[in-house]
Amino acid sequence: MKNKRVWFGGVLVIALLAIGGYALRSHHYQNRFLPKTQVLGVDVGDQTVTQANKALRTHFTNSSLKLVDGSKTVATASGTALGLKQNFTQTLTTLLKKQNPWALSATVLAQSQDKAVLTTGNKTLVAYTKQLTDKLNQTRKAPVDAKVVAESGKYVVQKEQAGNQIDAAKLASAVTKAVSSDKATVTVSTAYTQPKVTSTSATLKKAAKELSQIASIKAQVKITNKLVTIPTSKLQSWLSYDNGVQVDLAKVEAYTAELANTYNTYGKTRTFKSTKRGTVIVPAGTYGWTILQTATAKNLVAEIKKGQDFTKEVSWEGSGYHSDGSDIGSTYVEVDVTNQHEYFYKDGKLVLDSAVVTGKPGQDTPKGVDFVWNKTQNKTLTGKNDDGSNYASKASYWMPIDYTGVGLHDASWQPKFGGDWYKKHGSHGCVNNPVSFMAKLYAAVPLGTPVIVF
């Protein structure tokens, strides 16, 4: 029994000593980090928060980070430049509260907390990587997105191209990760800007198919009786893809401008086969038409986008646009100033003719190809006489042919017509007709009829 009591007493003493030692150890680590505790690669074991904070600040202030691109170091950043000379007290306090001071094994329970301190919210670090990125990208190649391009008459998806420009946000993240892992280098290529669109894009593949279909259509423009086929190469040059198939309106307008320059009749000098003087050259007048370029271009764009063969007539304005391709045609009024005579041809046949009085020398009737743009009865014609006085002449029939006040009308005040009478007794520019003849001419001539004065 005595031996047993001795043994038991010994065990009790050992246990009390162990408990006491363990209690002292636990109390010691209430305010200190357990052995082998690491924060951002820095050993803070057996240190208080204050001591650990000082160790971390010293470590990062004196540390540096290399940014490596391939075999080249593009920059070396100090801890200060990265804003790492910061206060870790709050984070260290949080970490200390999480450790178990009663732990039996510091190695097991004192885990590394290396990713808990540094974040991309570090404004100095973000600013540094942004400034560095801007500098480096000045001489670097940007990535190129995959796109649809014309190739041998068809459209194909051109593969994207990698570049070596750097994404500032990605670089900031890579630097943060490296610092948090206590790495000495950052591989810059991991922060390269990547193409946003790749050749695997279903949208691009669909676009290539659509553009190829459009590029193969037969597109024709109708101008009077002429059909103009838009060249395939020109049509292709108008096409592109940007969130859908696009047809360049500006380029189509340039094409319609070419058509206008070739086919417009307004403002052009004409040859005319006259009744008595053979073929004569007649200057431009009010007669003629022009292609409405923007309206025509918009219509063509709409047709092209349908992706089907088409024939689209131009939009136009003016006079003399005929579906048979004729210009003056076979129905017209002819005023021969030299012979002081007027003729009306209908469908190629002479219907009416009469001697007339045109403008006196100095107030000559303007020569040109004009047209009857209005018809009015009982019109009072006003203007100035040679002496500056006003005149007001009443005409029973009035057909203006230009926009300056010149027209065809009856002139009851003229005692005679034809010959040289106009030289001293001519009009102020209008074509004076006998009253009885003008009544017939007025009834026979429709609006829009060409009037050739030469």
With both helix axes pointing from N to C terminus, report the angle between 168-180 and 123-137 in degrees, rounded to the nearest 10.
Answer: 130
Q: What's the rounded Cα separation, in Å, for the pair 322 and 306?
A: 28
User: Rounded to whole angstroms, what are the CA distances from 253 to 167, 247, 258, 260?
Assistant: 41, 11, 9, 10
| String of DSSP letters for 6-56 | HHHHHHHHHHHHHHHHHHHHHHHTTSSPPTT-EETTEE-TT--HHHHHHHH
One-letter amino acid for residue 44 of the chain: V
Look at residue 201 and give its three-state secondary structure: coil
* Pairwise CA distance, residues 103 & 66, whole Å: 39
Which is catalytic among the residues 59, 341, 409, 428?
Answer: 409
DSSP state letter for 192: B
C-alpha closest to that of 90 among 35, 53, 42, 44: 53
Three-class SS of residue 222?
strand
Four-residue CA torsion sign, 195, 197, 201, 205: negative
Question: Is 28 considered catalytic here?
Answer: no
Which one of 341, 425, 428, 430 is the catalytic residue?
430
Please, is 440 exposed, middle or buried when counting C-beta atoms within 10 Å of its C-beta (0-12, 13-18, 19+)?
Answer: middle
> Is 409 annotated as catalytic?
yes
- Residue 382 has φ and ψ, to the nearest 5°, of -120, 160
CA angle at residue 106 from 102 to 112, to 5 degrees?
A: 120
Catalytic residue numbers, as ranges: 409, 430
